[in-house]
Chains A and B, each alone.
Chain A
Amino acid sequence: MSKRKKINDEVPFILKHRTTGEKILYAFVFFILFIWALTFLIPGVWLVIQSLHDQWGYYVAISFDGPFAIPDVLHFENYIKTFSMLDANGVNYGGMLLNTLWYMVLAIFYCPIWTVITSYVFSKYKFRGREFLYALIIFAMVIPIVGTGGARYKLIADLKLYDSGPLYVLATGIGGFSGSFLIMYGIFKNISWSYAEAVFIDGGGHFTAFLRIMLPQALPAISVLLLDSAIDLWNESHTFIMYLPSTPTIATGLYYAQAAIKRFGYPLYYAGIVMSIIPPIVVFAINSDFMMRSLSIGGLKG
Chain B
Amino acid sequence: MNTSFKKTHSINYMKRKETFFIWAMLALPLISWIIWYWYVNLSSILNAFKDVDGTWSFINFKTFWESLTAPSTDLGSISVGLKNTFGYYLQDLLIFIPLQILLAYFLYKRIPGFKFFRVIFYLPSIISGVAMTSVFKAMIATDGPLGVILESMGMPLEHALLSVPSTATKTIMAYKLWVCLASRMLLLGGALARIPIEVLESAKLDGVGPGRELINMIIPLISSTLITYLILGTTGIIGASGPILLLAPDHQSLGTTTLNYWIFDKVYAKGVHMAGQYNLVSATGLAFTVVLVPFVLTVRWLLEKIDVVEY
Size bin of chain A's contact surface = 35 or more
- Candidates B18, B117, B264; contact of A149 at CB < 8 Å: B264
Known: A143-B235, A149-B264, A300-B225; 17 extra A-B contacts, CB below 8 A, are A14-B204, A30-B112, A41-B120, A46-B139, A67-B148, A118-B25, A142-B235, A143-B293, A146-B238, A147-B44, A149-B285, A150-B266, A177-B37, A235-B126, A235-B131, A237-B128, A291-B186
Q: Report whether B17 and A151 are in contact in the complex, using a CB–CB cutoff of 8 Å.
A: no
Q: A14-B205, A297-B193 are in contact. Are A150 and B126 (CB under 8 A)?
A: no
Task: Determine the chain B residues whose CB is within 8 A of the CB of A251 once the complex forms.
Answer: 128-131
Which of B112-145 touch A at CB < 8 Å? 112-113, 116-131, 134-136, 138-139, 143-145
Q: Report whether B190 and A155 are in contact in the complex, using a CB–CB cutoff of 8 Å.
A: no
Task: Determine the chain B residues whose CB is within 8 A of the CB of A40 once the complex forms.
Answer: 120-121, 123-124
Q: A40-B123, A147-B285 are in contact. Are A140 and B22 (CB under 8 A)?
A: no
Closest to A143 in B: B293
Q: A29-B106, A37-B120 are in contact. Are A162 and B273 (CB under 8 A)?
A: yes
Q: Does A2 contact B (CB under 8 A)?
A: no
Q: A15-B200, A152-B40, A297-B193 are in contact. Are A146 and B285 (CB under 8 A)?
A: yes
Please classify the interface of chain B as helix (H, G, I), strand (E, B), loop, or mixed, using the class held by over half of its residues: helix
Q: Report whether A33 and B117 are in contact in the complex, using a CB–CB cutoff of 8 Å.
A: yes
CB proximity of A164 to chain B, nearest CB, Å: 12
Interface stretch (choices B66-74, B89-97, B155-163, B275-283)? B275-283
Task: Determine the chain A residues whose CB is within 8 A of the CB of B283 once the complex forms.
Answer: 147
Interface 0/1 of B10-31, CB less than 8 Å to A:
0000100111011001101111
- Inter-chain CA distance A43–B225, complex, in Å, is 33
Q: Report whether B201 and A29 are in contact in the complex, using a CB–CB cutoff of 8 Å.
A: no
Task: Determine the chain B residues whose CB is within 8 A of the CB of A254 once the complex forms.
Answer: 128, 130-131, 134
Q: Report whether A26 and B44 are in contact in the complex, using a CB–CB cutoff of 8 Å.
A: no
- Candidates A21, A144, A241, A300; contact of B292 at CB < 8 Å: A144
CB proximity of B129 to chain A, nearest CB, Å: 7
Q: A11-B110, A42-B145, A146-B288 are in contact. Are A153 and B200 (CB under 8 A)?
A: no
Q: Report whether B274 and A157 are in contact in the complex, using a CB–CB cutoff of 8 Å.
A: yes
**Highest count of chain B CB atoms <10 Å: which of A43, A242, A250:** A43
Q: Does B210 contact A (CB under 8 A)?
A: yes
Q: A148-B40, A174-B29 are in contact. Are A206 and B17 (CB under 8 A)?
A: yes
Q: Report whether B129 and A151 are in contact in the complex, using a CB–CB cutoff of 8 Å.
A: no
Closest to A291 in B: B186
A-B contact count (CB 8 A): 277
- Inter-chain CA distance A117–B22, complex, in Å, is 10
* Chain B residues in the interface with A (C-beta under 8 A): 14, 17-19, 21-22, 25-26, 28-33, 35-37, 39-41, 43-44, 47, 103, 106, 109-113, 116-131, 134-136, 138-139, 143-145, 148, 178, 181, 186-187, 189-191, 193-194, 197, 200-201, 204-205, 209-210, 225, 231, 235-239, 245-246, 259, 263-264, 266-268, 271, 273-274, 276-286, 288-289, 292-293, 296, 300
Which of A7-45 touch B at CB < 8 Å? 11-12, 14-15, 17, 19, 21-22, 25-27, 29-30, 33-34, 36-37, 39-43
Closest to B19 in A: A127
Closest to A296 in B: B190
- Inter-chain CA distance A231–B231, complex, in Å, is 26
Interface 0/1 of A151-186, CB less than 8 Å to B:
111110100001100000000101111000000000
Q: Report whether A151 and B47 are in contact in the complex, using a CB–CB cutoff of 8 Å.
A: yes
Closest to A289 in B: B115
The 8 listed contacts between A and B (C-beta, < 8 Å) are: A37-B120, A144-B293, A145-B285, A147-B285, A151-B44, A237-B130, A241-B245, A292-B118
Q: Does A267 contact B (CB under 8 A)?
A: no
Q: Report whether A277 and B131 are in contact in the complex, using a CB–CB cutoff of 8 Å.
A: yes
Q: Report whether A30 and B111 are in contact in the complex, using a CB–CB cutoff of 8 Å.
A: yes
Task: Determine the chain A residues whose CB is within 8 A of the CB of B281 once the complex forms.
Answer: 147, 149-150
- Inter-chain CA distance A235–B118, complex, in Å, is 20
Q: A47-B135, A121-B22, A147-B282 are in contact. Are A237 and B129 (CB under 8 A)?
A: yes
